[in-house]
Amino acid sequence: MNYTHKDGQVYNPSGSPIGNKNRKGYVRVVIGGKDMLAHRWIWEQEKGPIPQGMTIDHINSNRSDNRIENLQLLTHKQNVARAHLGCAYLVDNKYWGATRNKKYLGLFGTKGGALQAARLALL
């Protein structure tokens, strides 16, 4: 079976896109009869097996953005800490960025941008 991926989308052997978002926003795919998360499958195709105790994180916090450049390998502890570093609230089609203690950082065009600003404010 020759499944492929491009720009974060997984394709079956006939070239049709596959996958559906689950209720948590992750894309699930069935490849060779095995149900799996698309971001993990894409990582393994590009980088090899995911080491024991490691997770694949979406850098821009968009769980359905499975482009390889948006994925990074983290420990579970790093992933949990990263998820709690900042906040992004949608206000009038812009994302209001804030640190975990709610210090306002400005308005951003994307949720990822707002969260990145929150992370940088901690440095």
C-alpha angle with apex 23: 18 to 28, nearest 5 degrees? 25
46, pLDDT greater than 70: yes
Strands 20-21 and 27-31: antiparallel
Strands 34-37 and 27-31: antiparallel
HSE-CB at 99 with a 13 A cutoff on CA atoms is 6
Distance (Å, whole) CA 84 – CA 101: 10
Residue-wise pLDDT tens digits, 49-68: 999 999 999 887 789 999 99
Global pTM value: 0.71
